[in-house]
A and B are shown apart, each in its own frame.
Chain A
Amino acid sequence: MVSETAGGAGPLPRAGQAVSTYCLLAWTWIRAAAQYPVSLTLLALGTMVTTGLDIMGIMVLFSRTPRIAGFTASEVLFLYGTSALAFATSDILLGTTERLGEHVREGTLDALLVRPVSPLIQIATEDFSPRRFGRLVPPTLVLALALPRLPIAWTPGRVAMVPVMVVSGVVIFAGLWVLCAALQFVLLNSQGATKAITYGGAFLTQYPMTLFARDFVRGVTFVVPLAFVNWAPALYVLGRPDPLGLPGWTRFASPVVGAALCAVAAVAWRAGLRHYRSTGN
């Protein structure tokens, strides 16, 4: 009577379905947000002001100190821009997954689980507001300023690397969001720890890694592969030797790292959901 093929399609149609469901739910939340136009406008203004202050902070820093840890202003801005753009995009797409713990505590996750849609998509699209896109403005601006000023000769490889590193960055951050959400199934009050990894990671990668202690950076490189968000590929774009002496191939490893991290995150998410479903709330 009812076909069972709905979830049994191949991986590609399933991914397509996930994307279209995501868009549908996001659009629904946008329309819901439009029910309060004044609050929407005020919040959008707020976002613009805070991100604007962020940029001014960086500008002030560079007007005082022309070089940070051996990097020129435009190089640092390039690092900041690529990381911030990747993070902002991932935040727009998956930022609300950090509320998972809340849903578990309040028991609202159950209502999400009885719908024929992944709870991850449902939580990620929750409260989706057009104002989220405001977060893209400052990093885009910074990149627009920094890219033409980089003291390098643009080869096709370097040009291609810029979008590749941003997309890989999005994928890596996306994996981190999901991983942290999965962690909340076990540690219900870990929102703080989660924030440290995601927002902290975004902050960390906005500055050249050489600012930080060597061992710390090594740890970051291998434990939470944040360095691959932009540091390793940026070294390639900027044509600089790696101050940490990592092998050359690491500069091109970002997409692989991203894919691997997402695979780990997917496994963790499933394990988390299974844990929830076997322990209850």
Chain B
Amino acid sequence: MIEMTDVTKTFVLRRRNGRRLRRERTPVRAVDGVTFTVDRGEFLGYLGPNGAGKSTTIKMLTGILTPTSGRVRVAGLDPSRARTALARRIGVVFGQRTTLWWDLPLKDSLTLVRRLYRVEEHAYRTRLAELTALLELEPFLATPVRQLSLGQRMRGDLAAALLHDPELLVLDEPTIGLDVVSKATVRGFLARLNAERGTTILLTTHDLGDIERLCRRVMIIDHGRPAFDGDLAALRRAAGADRQLVVELAAPIPPIELDGVEVTDTEGPRQTLRLPDGANAASVVAALAARYDVRDIALRETGIEDIVARLYRGDHEISTPVMNPPPDLATR
């Protein structure tokens, strides 16, 4: 569905150099040699700190920007040359701004989208009924877009992007600013779209809940370079996401001494232990229970937020920089 081969995008920043009129030109590599493929039916989460090159990648995929070098193919087309033809086959949603017509009722916006994308009347009706039911659009179909809440607007935008039944849906921060309920609706809808219709979905987000609930594959880009590619479990492993054991003891005692574990925090009778990657939690728990008077034990996985924050800060070398997606993902 998507093929990027050694894609680079360089922007030239012009900066005033002191008081002189001559301006300095600094080339900045927003995307620096990115290579990846996305197969039909995948659900890929694309992560990265602000300015890492996420949006630039999305813009090159949709034909908004032309890459400086490298090869891009989306649905077999070169986006920068066949932008209009590609637009008919993909759906794009920007979380930050709507593509709907501000003053028109949502329904009219959708009718207009049908005409622009030349969707057949019959197909349109079936599709609209489907989307209306799934996204719960009915209550505000007749409301002008400007009066919609952010959550309603986002659902409207999703409907507009999917009327022509695109093979690929590209979402740029689709859940930004949404409340919990709207987020759940949007996520549930995307999961169904991917599972039932087989629509390939590429999503950028800062909301790691999106990634945890939706994406089977995660890609992280940092400073324009791919920093990780694989599934969530692999991400945890790669980032050395150790598990933690929180032990509630009968009384405050000096730090626990046990082979292979390390006490990271002591707070009265509660001690937090770090379990190294690959350690057997069950045997550690058994050993603890045998030697100490344990009241309660809780096992905690490092949250994806922590993992990603660690990757972004770059204070943790990722052991396997770029991995191929597991075979079960690639063959879907």
The answer to whether B116 and A107 touch across the interface, beta carbons within 8 angstroms, is: no
Closest to B99 in A: A111
Which of the residues A28, A35, A118 comes within 8 Å of B112, measured between beta carbons?
A28
Interface residues of B in 97-145 (CB under 8 A from A): 97-99, 101-104, 108, 112, 115-118, 144
Q: Are B84 and A114 in contact (CB under 8 A)?
A: no
B108-A28 in contact (CB<8A) = yes
Q: Chain B residues with Cβ under 8 A from A31's Cβ?
A: 104, 108
In this assembly, does A6 line the interface, its C-beta being within 8 Å of a C-beta of chain B?
Answer: yes
With contacts A6-B118, A28-B101 taken as known, whether A116 is within 8 angstroms of B94 at the C-beta atoms is no
CB-based contact B84/A7 at 8 Å: yes
A28-B104, A111-B94 known; A2-B116 Cβ under 8 A: no
Q: Which residues of A contact B115 (CB under 8 A)?
A: 24
B101 — which chain A residues lie within 8 A by C-beta?
28-29, 32
* Chain A, range 210-224, C-beta contacts under 8 Å to B: none
Q: Which of A29-67 contact B (CB under 8 A)?
A: 29, 31-33, 35-36
A21 partner residues in chain B, CB cutoff 8 A: 116
Q: A228 CB to closest chain B CB, in angstroms?
A: 33
Does A110 count as interface, using CB distance less than 8 angstroms?
Answer: yes
List B contacts of A278 (CB < 8 A).
Answer: 65-66, 68
Give chain B's interface residues, CB within 8 Å of chain A: 9, 11-12, 30, 56, 59, 62-66, 68, 80, 82-85, 87-90, 92, 94, 97-99, 101-104, 108, 112, 115-118, 144
Q: Pick the 6 closest A-B CB pairs, nearest first.
A: A32-B103, A116-B87, A114-B92, A277-B66, A113-B64, A111-B99
Q: Which residues of B contact A110 (CB under 8 A)?
A: 59, 64, 94
**Closest residue of A by beta carbon distance from B102:** A32
Q: How far is the CA of A107 from the CA of B172 in the complex (A)?
A: 14
CA A6 – CA B83 in complex, angstroms?
A: 12
Q: A274 in the interface, Cβ–Cβ < 8 Å? A: yes
Interface residues of A in 117-139 (CB under 8 A from B): 117-118
CA of A107 to CA of B94, assembled, Å: 11
| Minimum CB distance partner of A116 in chain B | B87
CB nearest neighbor in B for A24: B115
Additional A-B contacts beyond A31-B104, A280-B56, A280-B59 (19; CB < 8 A): A2-B89, A6-B118, A7-B84, A21-B116, A31-B108, A32-B102, A33-B103, A35-B144, A107-B97, A111-B97, A113-B62, A114-B62, A114-B63, A114-B64, A114-B99, A278-B65, A278-B66, A279-B12, A280-B9
Residues of A within 8 A of B88 (CB): 2, 6, 116
Task: Report if A140 contacts B (CB, 8 A).
Answer: no
Nearest to B97 among chain A residues (CB) is A111
Q: Which residue of A lies closest to B86 (CB)?
A: A116
A189 contacts partner chain B, Cβ-Cβ < 8 Å: no
Count of A-B contacts judged by CB separation below 8 Å: 80
Question: Once bound together, how far apart are the Cα atoms of A237 and B84, in whole Å?
Answer: 45
Across the interface, which residues of A come within 8 angstroms of B80, CB to CB? 277
Q: Which residue of A lies closest to B105 (CB)?
A: A35
Q: Which residues of B contact A250 (CB under 8 A)?
A: none
- Nearest-CB distance from B118 to chain A (Å)? 7
Whole-angstrom CA separation of A108 from B94 in the bound complex: 10
Query: How far, in whole Å, are A278 and B9 apart by their CA atoms in the complex?
Result: 8
Say yes or no for A115: interface residue by CB 8 A criterion: yes
B9's closest neighbor in chain A, by CB?
Answer: A280
Query: Shortest Cβ distance from A25 into chain B, in angstroms?
Result: 8
Interchain Cβ contacts under 8 Å between A and B, 6 examples? A7-B82, A35-B144, A110-B59, A114-B99, A117-B84, A277-B66
Residue in contact with B97 in the complex, picked from A36, A108, A277, CB distance below 8 Å = A108
A277 to B97, CA, bound (A): 19
Alpha-carbon gap, A28 to B84, bound state (A):
21
Least CB distance, B1 to chain A, in whole angstroms:
13
Q: Give the complex CA separation of A28 and B90 in angstroms.
A: 24
Q: Is the CB of B85 within 8 A of A7?
A: yes
Among A7, A33, A115, find the residue whose CB has the most chain B CB atoms closer than 10 A: A115
Q: Which residues of B sit under 8 angstroms from A116, Cβ to Cβ?
A: 84-85, 87-88, 116-117
CB distance from B28 to the nearest CB of A (A): 10
Q: How far is the CB of A100 from chain B (nearest CB, A)?
A: 15
Contact, CB under 8 Å: B112 / A24? yes
A110 to chain B, nearest CB (A): 5
* Chain A residues in 8 Å Cβ range of B116: 21, 24, 115-117
For B82, the chain A residues whose CB sits under 8 A away are 7
Contact partners of B30 in chain A: CB under 8 A:
280
For the complex, give the distance between the alpha carbons of A137 and B84 in Å: 38
